[in-house]
Amino acid sequence: MGGDHGPPVVIPAVVRALQGLPDNVRFLLHGDEAAIRSGFAKHLEALQRVEIRPAERVIAMDEKPAQALRRGKGTSMWNAVEAIRDGQAVAAVSAGNTGALMAISKLILRMSAELERPALVTSIPTPRGVTTFLDVGANIDCDAERLVEFAIMGEAFHRAAHGVPRPKVGLLNVGSEEMKGHEEVREAHRVLREGKIDLDYRGFVEGDDITRGVVDVIVTDGFTGNVALKAMEGVAKFIISELRTTLSSGLLAKLGAVLARSALLKFRERMNPTPAAPLLGLNGIVLKCHGGASNRDFAMAIRLAVDLARSDFSAEIERNMRRLPDALAEPAQPPTDAVASNGAASLGATE
């Protein structure tokens, strides 16, 4: 029922997604039974793989998370998430209210990580493919442990979503030297570099590496990630609009623009952000599709949910999370007499 359009987008998306999915993938659709049933009038075959779960109420797009928690029980969103907890579904996809979806998912499924809230992931296009970038706004204050959790979850997500066997992971910083950045990133760097967490850590990366594709996964706190993502979106919008103005000024440029139109359209499509983001750190797979999603977008979100559910994603995260306490432990301090300013004593110790 969620998003700007509700069933008129979700139902065609289900029909579309079903075409590429194995026969054993089935759907529970939560919401207004009559609306859903009439939406399938022309797709009776698809309806055979769908079970309608009537829900009388919905969460409004502008509802506050706290309010959604208080009065959410029995809404379509609540029931969709509850179906995961009860083992009736393996993943949920919603185009509804993001804050409410996060709060309800956290309450019903509980967190597998020690996060304040599920982490928000986004996928940024690069010349080589896609960068998985997190957290883009859910967890504002992050210590080193949170950052390492993001690395663990982002890495497993990237493998499941993009089929990259061993994604390369980087930590966002203001320079590549060990001394750079605030304490939290330096400590997370130490933990990841030590290699006790099973992932391919490549060290610090900088803001311009997000679109360069030097690593597959880039980790940062939710404040920096949210600002960087929105700043990038702002630049993309600005450039496209400037370009449009420039290309329509002057007769030759106008003619050029007409001729280049299809190329520009292809280009704009590539710059479109991915339509869905998983909420990472939950005991269960929940995907948030953006509110204005088209049929095509929502179908892509469904396929992503299926990819995640069929992968080892959750088990991989769990395995690395169990390594975290040991990895976070302070490195053993050398005995005091081994620390000498000229290094002689430590050299002596290896003799």
Site residues (vs its own copies, CB under 8 A):
125-127, 137, 140-141, 172, 174, 181-182, 206-212, 220, 222-224, 226-239, 241-243, 246-247, 249-250, 252-253, 255-264, 266-267, 270-271
> Strands 119-126, 276-280: parallel, antiparallel or unpaired by DSSP?
antiparallel
Cβ nearer to its own copies, comparing 38 with 249: 249
Nearer to its own copies, 75 or 173 (CB): 173
Q: How far is the CB of 224 from its own copies (least distance, A)?
A: 5
Residue 14 C-beta: closest distance to its own copies, Å:
32
3-state DSSP of 306-347: HHHHHCCHHHHHHHHHHHHHHHHCCCCCCCHHHCCCCCHHHH
Give the nearest distance from C-beta 18 to its own copies in angstroms: 33
| Smallest separation, CB 15 to its own copies (Å) | 32
Report whether 289 contacts 276 (CB < 8 A): yes
CB 318 within 8 A of CB 112: yes
Please, which residue, 136 or 301, has the CB nearer to its own copies?
136
Rounded to a whole number of angstroms, the minimum distance from the CB of residue 292 to its own copies is 16
Q: Hey, what are 324's tokens?
A: 């975290």
- Inter-residue contact 16 to 39 (CB < 8 Å): no
DSSP tag of 160: H
Report the nearest approach of its own copies to the CB of residue 170 (Å).
Answer: 12
Given the complex with its own copies, which of 5 and 212 has the nearer CB atom? 212
Q: Is the peptide bond before 135 cis (omega within 30 degrees of 0)?
A: yes
Joined tokens for residue 25: 């993938």
- Do residues 62 and 5 make contact, with C-beta atoms less than 8 angstroms apart? no
Nearer to its own copies, 135 or 149 (CB): 135
Distance CA 228, CA 245 (A): 26
Return the CA Rg of the chain.
23
Q: What are phi and psi of 335, to 5 degrees?
A: -60, 150
35 or 264: whose CB is closer to its own copies? Answer: 264
Q: Please report which residue ranges of 163-275 form alpha helices under DSSP H.
A: 183-194, 222-247, 251-271
Nearest-approach distance from CB 181 to its own copies, in angstroms: 6
At closest approach, how far in Å is the CB of 124 from its own copies? 9
Cβ neighbourhood burial of 130 (10 Å; 0-12, 13-18, 19+): middle
Task: Identify which of residues 241 and 346 has a Cβ nearer to its own copies in the complex.
Answer: 241
Q: Which is nearer to its own copies, 214 or 309 (CB)?
A: 214
